[in-house]
Amino acid sequence: DTAVSQTPKYLVTQMGNDKSIKCEQNLGHDTMYWYKQDSKKFLKIMFSYNNKELIINETVPNRFSPKSPDKAHLNLHINSLELGDSAVYFCASSPRDRGYEQYFGPGTRLTVT
């Protein structure tokens, strides 16, 4: 069983489109995250949710909107996609009682043309 899963794995789309990435974890963790990894492998946190409540919201454009229907799911919707949004997006989850070690999904490679 995959602990943290993301769909789709690859996403190719044109500028101006709206797209969503889905994430699910079956670890029973309370906290989930979205990260963006750029072409230089730099990993930057975007959002964090704890029990469906937004707790971290870094300086991310308003075009990015996370949604958490329940604590096992955290989706990322992106409006009006731009070339600079091309990256690999990782979902992660963590248990709050173990130093917030994080379990990562396989990533979604987004390419905006």
Partner 1 sequence: AQSVTQLDSQVPVFEEAPVELRCNYSSSVSVYLFWYVQYPNQGLQLLLKYLSGSTLVKGINGFEAEFNKSQTSFHLRKPSVHISDTAEYFCAVSAVPDDKIIFGKGTRLHILP
Query: Which one of 43, 62, 70, 93 is in contact with partner 1 (CB under 8 A)?
Result: 43
State which of positions 51-90 bind partner 1 (CB under 8 A).
Answer: 55-56, 90
Query: Which one of 19, 73, 104, 111 is in contact with partner 1 (CB under 8 A)?
Result: 104
Is residue 21 within 8 A of residue 35, CB to CB? The reply is no
Return the number of the residue (44 or 63) whose C-beta is nearest partner 1.
Answer: 44
Query: Which one of 50, 65, 86, 111 is in contact with partner 1 (CB under 8 A)?
Result: 50
* HEC readout, the chain: CCCEEEECCEEEECCCCCEEEEEEECCCCCEEEEEEECCCCCEEEEEEEECCEEEEECCCCCCEEEEEEECCEEEEEECCCCHHHCEEEEEEEECCCCCCCCEECCCEEEEEC
Does 45 contact partner 1 by CB under 8 A? yes
Stretch that binds partner 1, among 14-22, 61-69, 76-84, 92-100 (CB under 8 A): 92-100
Q: For residue 6, what are its two tokens?
A: 């993301």
Q: For residue 71, what are its two tokens?
A: 């604590």
Stretch that binds partner 1, among 19-27, 41-49, 63-71, 77-85 (CB under 8 A): 41-49
**Where does this chain bind partner 1 (CB under 8 A)?**
4, 31, 40-45, 48, 50, 55-56, 90, 92, 94, 96, 98-107
